[in-house]
Structure formats: structure tokens, C-alpha cells
Structure 1
Amino acid sequence: MTPAVRQRVPFRFSEDDDLDGHVLDEQEQEEVLDRLRKQNQNSNAVYYTGLQFVVSLSLLIHAVFTFSSTKISPLAPLFPDSPSKPVPFTNALLLLQYMVHGNLILYCLPRKHHMRQMIPNASLPRSFSLPLPLSHPAAIVLPLIAPAYATFLGRGIVDVLWWSAAGILSLVVGLATKWMRDAEKDVEELDKLRYTARGA
């Protein structure tokens, strides 16, 4: 039985149907990869800015809620049929929400950002320092405490949704950052497919 020979698929790139058979030389490959990296960096910068804006807006709303005398959910006007009332230990829950938002702000910084590199080593000795930003499972558990507590108390949908805001944001930020990391890995995988063109 004759063993099957696996044919290597060369690195090909085309922006025109007429060039489908064009095999790129080393310089052209590098130019394509540089262009893809730059496009990826530009799109990631836009996504990070958008995430930072959303998290900052949520943080501002929580700050307004903190200084509110009634401590009624800001979502109450959207659900007039669902009454809202203050939850016991509101200040403790707010402190937890601020911690989650602070962690999200770090997540919304590029991985090589100087603030993200500096904070974990800034305050405590290395043996006691926390790995900031927090990742699983802490990043999953912390945002669930407040909505679980509101649900346990039998609060209405308006209160449960309000205390779920940080958890929903955590999910959005987590999915967005994973998507950006996957895009970076795709470019890295494409870089591994580079080859030496014959006659170049």
C-alpha cells in the first residue's frame, strides 16, 4: 500500500480574483502580516475604548446611586409594575460592585499597558500581591454575589437586574477580550505558515 503524501499548502493572499494563483515571496508575506497586525491593533484599540466607555458609564451610574438618599434602583422607571426598595447591606454590596468595576477597568486596558503591569506589584510584597486583574473563578463569583442576594431576599426583577449590572458587564468584557485574543492568535498562526519562496 502506497503511503499518502501530504502536500503543503503555501501561504497565499489575494485581494483580486485575477491573482488567486500568486504565491507571495518573503517580503510580500511580511507586508501582509504587518498589515494584518496593524488592522488588528487598530480594531482592538476601538474595542478597548468602547469597553472603557461602557464600564465608566456604569461606574458613574453606581456613583449616583451611592449618593442617592432613596437607594431605589435606577431601572425602576423602566419597570413601573415592579416595585423597587432598598436592599439590606446596600453599602457593602456597592463596595463589592466598585471592586468588580475596578477589575473590569484593568481588563479593558491592553495587556501590555503600563498600568496593568504596574498595579499587581505596587502595593503589597510579591508573596502577598493579588494577580490583578482577577481572573476565573474570582471574576465570575464576585459579580454574582449581589444579584444572588437580591434574589434570595425575594426582590423584584428591577432590583435583581440592577444588582446584576456588574455581572452582565463582566460577561461582555470577558467575551470581547477573548474575541480580541483569538484574533491575535489567528495572526500568530498565520505567521507560522510563512515559507521560503523558491527563487526569491
Structure 2
Amino acid sequence: MSEPVRILLVDDQELIRVGFRLVLESEPDLVVVGEAGDGESAVAEARLLRPDVVLMDVRMPRLDGIRATERILAELPQTRVLVLTTFDLDEYAFGALDAGASGFLLKDAQRAELVGAVRAVHRGDAVLAPRVTRRVIERLGPASAPPTGPDPDVVLTERERDVFDGIARGLTNAEIARELFLGESTVKTHVGRVLAKLEARDRIHAVILAHQWAQAARPGENG
């Protein structure tokens, strides 16, 4: 059996940390190794515990989640940060994505969403709450902006374009694998090739590029 995913909970509200701990530790493959109530403590705990995943609040005393995310990822690039926010228009959450977080989740997410998100970012997927994907695209790279980098229709194989379409729709590797009748490891390989060929920083950047290229293919809708 593989080692459980080691999680650090960061939130300035103790009751929220308690609730998340109860949900996460009911899963056999997840374990909470530590907690922090502010950004400074989060950085210190991450440095000490080296967690696989950090669930990071954004609005906290001493040091906010954006700065904490930057510092943790600078020291621990293998650690994944999943940002937690109360509001889907929270500019702080967008800032955390800029800082290198693997995505964000709303605090009112259902139990299965929370557990699934932790597992997804640990596998290397990006996680965006579906109802905020459009806002993320608008914040980080408007769909109306000219697309940058290589044209997907030129540089990607047919199968890679299928995978790229799945990424654009916010699907995880497992969901893409089921849809295309492929093994998850095969999808992971395709994802790596897609990101490299499109010169995308990460999956979130790939989502932005997909929407930009789609908009470029429909120029009449911009005017």
C-alpha cells in the first residue's frame, strides 16, 4: 500500500481546521500532519513537516496566504498548495494562483469535492471550482487576448488535442482517461507533452490558452 498523502491545514479559524481534519482523516489514504493559524506559522510548519499538500487559507494575520504560498513553494517545489476561499471572486485567491498554487476550492465545497481535490493536486492535476473557471481565465489571461505560443492544431497530435480539450474543460487525468478509454498513466504522459509543446507553465495556463485559441477561431464574436 502506498504512503498516505500528508496534509498541512492552514486557516485562521480553528473550527474550520477541525472540520477539514475530520473529513480528511476519515479517508484511509489521507493524513493531516499539522495545522497553522497564520501564514508565518504555515511556512514554518511546511519547512518542518514537508507535507505533500497544503490547504491554504488566503486572508490570515501576520502573513497572508499568497505570500505564504510563494515562500513555501520556493523552498519546497514538490509540495502542492490548494487555496481555500470563501468567495469565488476573491482577488487574494487569484493572487495565490499567480504565486504557484495548484488551484483553489471554495470553502463550501462538498465533502467529496474536498477529498477529490486533495488527491487531484497530489497527482499533479490542477483544481478549479467549476463556477469560477471563467473568472480565473478573465483574471489571469482574458479569452479576448491574442493567443500566445504554438498553435495547438499545428503542434499537437490528434490524441494530444483530445487530451488538451479535456484539460480545457477542467477534467482531471482520471476523468480524461475514462472519457478517452486510456490508462491514467498514458494520459499523464500526454498531458506532459501537451504542456511542453504549448509552452504552458501548468494546467491552469493550458486552460487559458485553450480559451484564447478557441476565441481566436471565432473572431466574429469579439467585435
Q: Which has the larger share of helix?
A: 1
- State the TM-score bracket (shorter-chain normalisation): under 0.3
TM-score, structure 1 as length reference: 0.27
Higher relative contact order (CA 8 A, sep 6+): 1
Q: Which has the larger share of strand?
A: 2
